[in-house]
Chain A
Amino acid sequence: MEKAVARFEIRYTQFLDEHGKATGEFPDHSKNPDELVDLYRWMVLMRTYDAKAIALQRTGQLGTYAPILGQEAIEAGVGSTMHSDDVFLMTYREQGVQLMRGVTMTELFLYWSGDERGSDYQGPRRDFPICITIAAHCTHAAGAAYAIKLKGEKRAVVCALGDGATSKGDFYEGMNAAGAWKLPVIFLVTNNQWAISVPRSVQSAAETLAQKAIAAGIPNEQVDGNDIVAVRDAMKRALERARSGEGPSLIEALSYRLSDHTTADDASRYRSADEVAEAWKREPVLRLRNYLSAAGAWDRAREEALVRECNEQVQAAVQAYLDTPPPRPADMFEHLYETLPPALESQRLEALGPEPEPAGDKDTAVV
């Protein structure tokens, strides 16, 4: 005897097409265009910040930087639906979410300049620092969610990762644990089509990345990640599930990395200008602007004022970043342990260097 013992389908949602036209009725949270204006403002701020960060890197004022260009709708969708006491775990391309959650732009510039103080967020104190080792944070997310569940709290955990990360064991392991214990965690996969130079088609033979959650018993879906309404809708449903004890979710948000992987990368080595030009036609910021303009909620004057405001805000953050005194050598030992073990004291003194010479004329110094 032979029979089918499991079937699945992957749902894809889009509310706003690439021209900025509604594909159907919007959900309640996005029916009023004025409510989307605030998200549009955030997306423009992200893009302004991103362009400035690249300019700073190109002029030697910032270290290697990972651009977020093209992913603004995902970031705004996540940032606008999470609660402040939720926990966000991220890789390095979710700086827009960080901004919306209260990480300051100055902290982001510090981080990307190579200064650990950039991870001491004055805003979201429970958000994890950027995770550079791909997918390792998927297991941290499961652990944090377990802790929240054990404490009986109503908070949710959101773990953002990229398409490349879905190839790693940590992703499966974290998801599997989250499914086994019905943990309040959302895995948000930004499928931007490229893991440095490896395209999505080479990354996995799976038809969608969303379906990888099926093996872990986790509800999953795919959304147009350049459509802010679709991202928000999926996030809201997933967050509600998490908070009400129904367990984890996975959202695959389809987007495109319009920029290089980092400022140390040259994407023209591995992808065609035509492909990038095509992707620009689907980009999220112009799409939302077209919608808002057509709905009468946005116009040229407001756009010009917004661009001016964003530039001023970014410039102020750049100045605050440049005015921040550099870290001290002894900072290498600060916060290594809660209390520095005595065994490390001699190394700390070595890092401090010799005591500065006393001020004054040596010839007349009292001996």
Chain B
Amino acid sequence: MAEITLVEAINLALSHELQRDESVVVLGQDVGRDGGVFRSTLGLVDKFGPERVIDTPLAEGMIAGMAIGMAVEGIRAVAEIQFSGFAYTCIDQILNHAGRMRYRTRGRMSCPMVLRTPCGGGIHAPEHHSESPEAMFAHTPGIRVVYPSSPKSAYGLLLAAIRDPDPVVFLEPTRLYRLFKEDVTDDGAALPLDTCFTLREGTDVTLVTWGGMVHETLQAADTLAEEGYAAEVLDVATLKPYDLETILASVQRTGRCVVVSEAPKTAGFASEIAAAVGEHGLLYLMAPVGRVTGYDSVMPLARLEKQYMPSAERIADAARLAIGWSG
């Protein structure tokens, strides 16, 4: 066991899989000698060589497309896109090709690749470095979208993503890369995909979130606890396909649901969860499903970033509103 950060956990998982399975390769801009702009691939090129830890030319669409070609030819490609705003270039490849290869060839071919990218705001980065594109990827049939929220879940979920026989978009909460440490054992044990994790049990309200927002949501739950309210906190973890069953079971117990996301509000993944809870859990609900999200505006530069992203206070306010609701 060692206390490590989330970005170190990513490095540990990549190293473990490169060691375990020689068909695994890592590719992307600056992933070799530089160790990645966030250092998530630090040292891997020394251990596994430049043919398996590949510094690519600067072209995000090419990185995604090459990963597809590699995966179809039996190489498990783990591609890194440096920043979330640059991942939009890859959407054509992920949506039109990675997600369909198995389907359109009726199972003759598959595409077991992973596209990793840092995601979300909160690190005072330049423009296009802090976006939250998860809903766009989650809208895509045939892929998985995975979004860890801690060093432990990053390690276990990345192992699962690399071993998954289908393409995975793996979004990493940039803000949590170095925010806190956890004990992570490098035992090669993967966490299950397509599964919600209950991070905190409670009876008064269900708070559903993922990625970086797990941090503020847990803080909000602490605040609520001081006020005597027990909030249940669910980490969706895999956004496509997602575990609605666990969410509904929780809402059935609590009768109230607030979904938290730092992405823009309209047509975001919070909307999907709110709609599904309404569709399947209406009779459990004692209050409308709340959404605490970013605004339908551009993710602002650093000086307004804090005002844009949901805070623990905004989340707690929404939870109080749900708890105190009287129609």
Contact = CB atoms under 8 A, between A and B. Distances in A.
B75 interface: yes
B105 interface: yes
Interface string B188-212: 0000001000000000000000000
Contacts of B106: 116-117, 119-120, 334-335
A interface secondary structure, majority: helix
Contacts of B51: 150
A109 to B, nearest CB: 16
| Those 4 A-B pairs whose CB atoms lie nearest each other, nearest first | A143-B69, A139-B65, A147-B73, A173-B62
Given A176-B59, A337-B166, A343-B243, A120 B70 contact: no
A143 B102 contact: no
Interface residues of B, number: 45
Interface in A325-344: 334-338, 341-344
A90 B51 CA distance: 27
A126 B73 CA distance: 8
Nearest to A216: B57
Given A177-B57, A335-B105, A343-B194, 12 more contacts: A121-B108, A126-B73, A139-B61, A140-B68, A140-B97, A147-B69, A147-B75, A151-B74, A177-B56, A336-B103, A337-B142, A342-B194
Interface stretch (A12-20, A61-69, A128-136, A257-265): A128-136
Contacts of A146: 66, 69-70, 75
A138 B244 CA distance: 38
Interface in A135-188: 136-148, 150-151, 169-170, 173-174, 176-177, 180
A170 B72 CA distance: 18
B72 A144 contact: yes
B141 interface: yes
B25 interface: yes
B19 interface: no
B105 A120 contact: yes
Nearest to A147: B73
Interface of B: 25, 51-52, 56-57, 59, 61-62, 64-75, 77, 92-93, 96-97, 101-110, 141-142, 165-166, 194, 241-245
Contacts of A336: 102-103, 141-142
Contacts of A174: 62, 65-66
B56 A119 contact: no
A129 B75 contact: no
Contacts of A121: 108
A125 interface: yes
A151 B73 CA distance: 10
B98 to A, nearest CB: 10
B231 to A, nearest CB: 25
Interface string A341-361: 111100000000000000000
Q: How large is the interface on A (under 10, 10 to 19, 20 to 34, 35 or more residues)?
A: 35 or more
Contacts of B56: 177
A87 interface: yes
20 contacts: A116-B103, A119-B106, A126-B73, A129-B109, A131-B97, A136-B65, A136-B96, A139-B62, A140-B72, A141-B69, A142-B65, A142-B69, A144-B72, A150-B51, A151-B74, A170-B62, A174-B62, A336-B141, A343-B241, A343-B242
Nearest to A344: B241
Contacts of A337: 102, 142, 165-166
A87 B241 contact: no
Contacts, number: 136
A129 B69 contact: no
Contact of A147 (B62, B70, B105): B70
Given A136-B93, A139-B69, A150-B75, A341 B102 contact: no
Contacts of B142: 336-337
B185 to A, nearest CB: 28
Contact of B65 (A116, A173, A341): A173
Nearest to B99: A336
> Which among A119, A125, A140, A334 has the greatest number of chain B C-beta atoms within 10 A?
A140
B57 A140 contact: no
A338 B110 contact: yes
A138 B25 CA distance: 20
A143 B61 contact: no
A138 B141 CA distance: 23
Given A125-B108, A150-B25, A343-B241, A87 B73 contact: yes
Contacts of A128: 72, 109
Contacts of B68: 139-140, 143
A113 to B, nearest CB: 14
Nearest to A115: B106
Contacts of B103: 116, 335-336
Contacts of B65: 136-140, 142-143, 170, 173-174
Contacts of A87: 73
> Which among B67, B75, B103 has the greatest number of chain A C-beta atoms within 10 A?
B103
B67 A143 contact: yes
A176 B68 CA distance: 17
Contact of B61 (A119, A125, A173): A173
> Which among B59, B71, B73, B106 has the greatest number of chain A C-beta atoms within 10 A?
B73
B92 A133 contact: yes
A176 B75 contact: no
Contacts of B96: 133, 136
Nearest to A149: B51
Contacts of B72: 128, 140, 143-144
A151 B25 CA distance: 12
A19 to B, nearest CB: 42
Given A120-B105, A140-B68, A341 B75 contact: no
A144 B107 CA distance: 18
Given A116-B106, A120-B106, A143-B77, A176 B69 contact: no
A119 B105 contact: yes
A140 B110 CA distance: 13
A148 B70 CA distance: 8
Nearest to A153: B73
